[in-house]
Structure 1
Amino acid sequence: MTDERIVVVGAGYAGLATATRAGRHREVTLIAPEERFLHRVRQHETAAGRPEHRPALADLVRGSRVTRVPAEVTAIDLAARTLHTDTAGPVPYDVLVYALGSRTAFHGVPGAAEHSYPAERAAALHRRLAASLGPASLAVVGGGATGIEMAAELAEAHPEHRVRLLAADRVGGWLSARGQRHVRRALHRLGVTIDDGRTVTAVTPGGLETDRGPVPADAVVWAASMEPHPLAAEAGLDVTAGGQVVVDDHLRSVSHPEVYAVGDAAAVTLPGRGALRMGCATALPMGTYLGRVLGGRAPRPFAFSYAAQCLSLGRRDGLLQLVRADDSMRPLVLTGTPGRLVKAAIVRAVTPRS
């Protein structure tokens, strides 16, 4: 039906991709409080004081039939098919695209939310470091991609500071053996102290408490993991134990077929691929697919194959790790300047446009 009211909630990678592509052919309402797109995969650059790349949402939807409502959704009434917002009043829908994504998870660690800087507070972290009168000690918690990129960027931008990267397991441990070696060499070259196998039990104003003793730090960066936004569970959609919306092979909610979920908000499991991981690598294809479906393309089941993972290791180094279709590691990696250039090209390409 061409007169269906299509409403997209969330203007991240998946939400914008859905809205702009569906908006080529249909009227779409996009609800998002922010004026500018948050390039989550570039937050390490923001933390280090690099120029921000945050295009205006108005520019990204220009030329499409997307109307943006600058508001935050506070509740979803599934029975009435109505969204409640903080500033725009109730918004009815016939088709809802839930794309609120994820946020940093603190996992109940005492003091983590109060005394650390997650990726969402990258600009505040930059201001904190800029105000430092002398060398400072920085503790980055999390040995995944976000933690590695944060540690590398901060160490390169602020060589006067001491950067320590802590992980409960092994920093970069999911990569191939060659990929791990390169990441660790790059971090050592930048002066980052790698602390594997250390579990953080609390964050204090003076640093960290861990299972192997205290770690003093003037500032703590929290990059341990992500969790879905809780609104879907609060509304009564069927969700996984982790809070992601359970969807079918067309990204439609199994409990409420008028609702679709995309990006980090969706629990997508594909044959031969398993459960898709959170990240723009999966969010953007989901949004592109759903935008085409809502725009009128015949709905085929969503399909996806992994090809590579990439990491920024400062301004002069990077890593492109080739992977199989199921995201398992291949031995081949691209490093140094070639790896950095490919990573930069991928980052430039993932901004959704109409």
Structure 2
Amino acid sequence: MNNGHHIVVLGAGYTGMLAAIRLARRTRRTGARITLVNPSSRFVERLRMHQIAAGQELADHQIPDILDGTGITFVQGAATAIDPEARRVTVDGAGTLEYDTLVYALGSATDTGKVPGAGENAFTLNGPEAAGRFAARLAEVAAAGGTVTVAGGGLTGIEAATEIAESRPGLNVTLISLDEPGGMMGPKARAHLFRALDRLGVTVETGARVTKVLPDAVELADGRLVPSDACLWTTGVKVPPLAADAGIATDDRGLILVDATLRSVSHPRIHAIGDAAAVRMAWGQIHGTCQSGLPTAQYTADTIARLLRGKDVKPFRFGYFHQPVSLGRRDAVIQFTKADDTPGRRYLRGRAAVAYKEFVSGSPLTTFRFSKRVNTTTVLSKGGRATRRPAA
């Protein structure tokens, strides 16, 4: 028994929430206590922020309601400091929390600090409030027949641009991307993506690098000005400096360096998950997505439970499975992938892809509910042979 062993989970996003709930079930007979810390009481469905940006209303899922019946203590407040030697976390408005094991699940946010004017003149999808501010501005721009630009041609930018164009027919929407949108997909899936962009009237500026965001335009590296009454910034990510400031070993982006069991290489009592951790497989480093984040949460909850029982743990293994992309509410494309996230031969499009994407977007909340009662599995692929070798 580990009576009084205190596990503190920082961050109640997809990964932190699953880790806490699964820990509650897996450690219920050990006497461990679990505390979940998050600045807001609302659970944020990051996979749906582009829907809020387009003016749609989403359900308000409250964290205490999700945790009901788990025995987890919820502390609302922002973690402002970690003392890894004293094993103590300072939480704004809640004092300090001492821990025996810390799960660091503070995710990333869109970085507007590297391009002049982006912080002052661009909107982001960094939470419901930020997405809501863009939605309010979007309504004004649409009423005036103006122009919206979406900076960043990754999956988030694609979903935002298509959602906006579908919800506001006739609005001028321009997607600006340094690389070709959908470049990570196979040719057939990418062709469907571009047909959807064309059908929705989205103008695509490929090979364009934004050098400045102005109140009424976006400046490109070639000197051109693209008119923009509202710019949505979806490119570049940053993580909180909390871990680096605490002296925890991090990489040059601030991600916690972890070993094969997702424990900090400098402070083994700290487990890092999701896009807070620099997780390497033999084929390369995992990039922060819900698809990879949930398996790290599942693995870490199981690992901590095994350690509390004095059992050995096996290294974390993960391989990518798909790239699901919504193209508005009535279209989508799903590229199935190899373990290293390069495109495979299969893909879905149209109605089947819409149903698939909706299942994916709604699956975390379903997983939370089931995880209260059973040990659900979130790992679609362990990567086969590609992850049996140790990371370089």
- TM-score with structure 2 length normalisation? 0.87
* Residue 92 of structure 1: how far off its partner (Å): 0.9
* Residue 79 of structure 1: how far off its partner (Å): 1.8
Give the whole-Å Cα distance in 1 for the aligned partners of 2:60 and 2:316: 29
> Does 1:183 find its partner at 2:193?
yes
User: Where does structure 1 differ by over 3 angstroms across 4 or more consecutive aligned residues?
Assistant: 295-298
**Sequence identity percentage:** 39
Partner of 2:135: 126
Give the whole-Å Cα distance in 1 for the aligned partners of 2:157 and 2:118: 15
Partner of 2:281: 270
Partner of 1:316: 330
Tell me the secondary structure at the aligned position of residue 255 of structure 1. coil
Tell me the secondary structure at the aligned position of residue 249 of structure 1. coil
Give the whole-Å Cα distance in 2 for the aligned partners of 1:59 and 1:304: 31
Aligned-residue CA RMSD (Å): 1.3
Larger mean CA deviation between 343-352 and 184-193 belongs to 343-352
- Equivalent residue for 2:262, pick from 239, 251, 254: 251
Alignment of 1:114-193 (within 5 A): 114-120=120-126, 121-132=130-141, 133-193=143-203
CA contact (8 A) 2:7 2:102 kept: yes
Change in CA separation of 1:104 and 1:293 when aligned onto 2, cut-off 3 Å: same
Give the whole-Å Cα distance in 1 for the aligned partners of 2:262 and 2:303: 10
Give the whole-Å Cα distance in 2 for the aligned partners of 1:64 and 1:139: 44
Partner of 1:301: 315
Give the whole-Å Cα distance in 2 for the aligned partners of 1:53 and 1:100: 23
Structure 1 residue runs without a partner (length 5+): none
Tell me the secondary structure at the aligned position of residue 49 of structure 1. coil
* Residue 249 of structure 1: how far off its partner (Å): 1.0
**What letter corresponds to residue 309 of structure 1 in structure 2?**
Q
Give the whole-Å Cα distance in 2 for the aligned partners of 1:329 and 1:18: 29
Give the whole-Å Cα distance in 1 for the aligned partners of 2:364 and 2:133: 25
* Residue 350 of structure 1: how far off its partner (Å): 2.1
Higher relative contact order (CA 8 A, sep 6+): 1
Partner of 1:233: 244
- Equivalent residue for 2:49, pick from 17, 38, 43: 43
Tell me the secondary structure at the aligned position of residue 350 of structure 1. helix
**What letter corresponds to residue 222 of structure 1 in structure 2?**
W
- TM-score with structure 1 length normalisation? 0.96
Tell me the secondary structure at the aligned position of residue 333 of structure 2. strand
> Does 1:216 find its partner at 2:230?
no
Give the whole-Å Cα distance in 1 for the aligned partners of 2:153 and 2:113: 16
> Does 1:111 find its partner at 2:117?
yes
Give the whole-Å Cα distance in 1 for the aligned partners of 2:44 and 2:60: 6
Structure 2 residue runs without a partner (length 5+): 373-392
Give the whole-Å Cα distance in 1 for the aligned partners of 2:67 and 2:299: 17
* Residue 225 of structure 1: how far off its partner (Å): 2.4
CA contact (8 A) 2:113 2:119 kept: no
**What letter corresponds to residue 270 of structure 2 in structure 1?**
V
Partner of 2:21: 20
* Residue 309 of structure 1: how far off its partner (Å): 1.0
